[in-house]
């Protein structure tokens, strides 16, 4: 297949004027490609899929069918935001699937990271395939492929299946962001009117919190992780760190230690803070978080999150540590 190459003279989209010109061009191209046919999109709520969805809604409206699969491993409030922004504000043709029980039942007792990833990926394909099979007249599959995806796949069209969608789906592809870098995608998203906390969202792994709830996932520990992570994100927003740090999150391992609560000993999990900066994700440095902020985060998590009695800070750069724990 022909390799997709970004023209050397292509102007960097770094302001709203250029973003609006790009949007106008893509709306025309999308309409020309799709005509009166329907387009299917797996809408994760991440930056790339959200911007593609908003762009396609502007171009073809209800001809776009968005499927959002909640695998129960999303961060706090993410699926609700997808429903609010796309289902209500943009009046998208949105199908919401709460598959939490399906995923968590399959993951019960599974501790090996790669096995967890495979189960989550395979079940996502199955759920998406089930929803796609119910739809009639779908001719195109939209994907949030961006230029780094193509570079990392060495120009091979394998990047088209980055989202893990079924190989036997016989759709033509719509990839309007394929020549853009991530920073350009964010500018386009803002020009399309998407909320800043969606457009500026940090990278999030496909298996979601499944690779941050370390070891075998349990519902109570997953809930504690989700709540602790929400507190971390809220405090980073309040203290002006959200825009300075490339990726920050909580990981919760599957072991407990003794703590004290209400003058009694009790066992709880540790919450591990990971905050890194990077340019290309190949190497990463540690963000130095002010101790006053760390004390506030620690106080809130240990007071507000049931089951967590310690807060730890991961000071390991990449290399030797990876960005994610699993």
The string of pLDDT tens digits covering residues 125-167 is 999 999 999 999 999 999 999 988 888 665 333 333 434 445 5
- State the DSSP code for 213: B
Q: How far apart, in Å, are the Cα atoms of 116 and each of 109, 210, 219, 250, 256?
A: 10, 7, 15, 18, 21
Q: How confident is the model at residue 202 (pLDDT cuts 50, 70, 90)?
A: confident
Please name which of 96, 118, 224, 230 lies closest in space to residue 164, comparing C-alpha atoms: 118
Identify the weakest region by mean pLDDT among 41-55, 84-98, 156-170, 221-235: 156-170
pLDDT at residue 82 tops 90: yes
Q: How confident is the model at residue 261 (pLDDT cuts 50, 70, 90)?
A: confident
Fold classified for 16-199: Rossmann fold (3.40.50)
CA angle 115, 117, 122 (to 5 degrees): 95
Residues contacting 143, CB < 8 A, separation 6+: 41, 42, 49, 52, 160, 162, 163, 165, 173, 174, 175
Q: Where are the domains of the chain?
A: 16-199, 212-313
Q: What is the pLDDT of residues 280-312, one digit of tens each?
A: 778 999 999 999 999 999 999 999 999 999 999
CATH 3.30.300.10 fits 212-313, yes or no: yes
pLDDT at residue 205 tops 90: no
Q: How far apart are CA 298 and CA 304, in angstroms?
A: 10
pLDDT score of 66: 97
pTM for the predicted model, two decimal places: 0.87
- Mean of the per-residue pLDDT values for the chain? 92
Identify the weakest region by mean pLDDT among 3-12, 43-52, 230-239: 3-12
Percent of the chain with pLDDT over 90: 82
Q: How far apart are CA 82 and CA 80, in angstroms?
A: 5
Q: What is the pLDDT of residues 102-127, one digit of tens each?
A: 999 999 999 999 999 999 999 999 99
Q: Taking residues 214-228, report their average pLDDT.
A: 98
For residue 319, cis peptide bond before it (omega within 30 degrees of 0): yes
């Amino acid at each position: 297949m022909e390799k997709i190459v970004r023209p050397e003279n292509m102007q960097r989209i770094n302001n709203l004027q250029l973003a609006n010109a790009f949007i106008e061009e893509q709306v025309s191209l999308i309409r020309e490609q799709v005509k009166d046919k329907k387009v299917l999109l797996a809408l994760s709520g991440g930056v790339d899929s959200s911007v593609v969805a908003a762009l396609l809604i502007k171009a073809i409206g209800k001809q776009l069918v968005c499927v959002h699969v909640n695998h129960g491993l999303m961060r706090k409030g993410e699926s609700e935001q997808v429903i609010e922004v796309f289902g209500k504000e943009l009046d998208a043709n949105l199908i919401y699937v709460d598959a939490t029980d399906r995923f968590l039942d399959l993951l019960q007792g599974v501790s090996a990271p790669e096995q967890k990833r495979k189960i989550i990926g395979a079940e996502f394909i199955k759920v998406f395939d089930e929803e796609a099979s119910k739809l009639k007249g779908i001719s195109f599959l939209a994907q949030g492929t961006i230029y780094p995806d193509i570079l990392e796949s060495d120009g091979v069209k394998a990047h088209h299946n980055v989202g893990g969608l079924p190989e036997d789906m016989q759709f033509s592809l719509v990839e309007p962001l394929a020549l853009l870098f991530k920073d350009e995608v964010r500018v386009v998203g803002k020009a399309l009117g998407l909320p800043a906390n969606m457009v500026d969202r940090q990278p999030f792994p496909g298996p979601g919190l499944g690779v941050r709830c370390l070891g075998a996932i349990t519902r109570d520990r997953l809930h504690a992780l989700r709540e602790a992570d929400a507190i971390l994100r809220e405090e980073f927003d309040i203290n002006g760190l959200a825009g300075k740090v490339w990726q920050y999150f909580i990981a919760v391992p599957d072991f407990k230690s003794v703590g004290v609560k209400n003058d009694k000993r009790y066992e709880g999990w540790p919450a591990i803070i990971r905050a890194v900066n990077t340019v290309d994700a190949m190497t990463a440095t540690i963000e130095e978080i002010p101790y006053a902020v760390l004390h506030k985060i620690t106080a809130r998590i240990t007071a507000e999150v049931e089951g967590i009695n310690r807060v730890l800070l991961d000071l390991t750069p990449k290399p030797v540590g990876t960005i994610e724990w699993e």
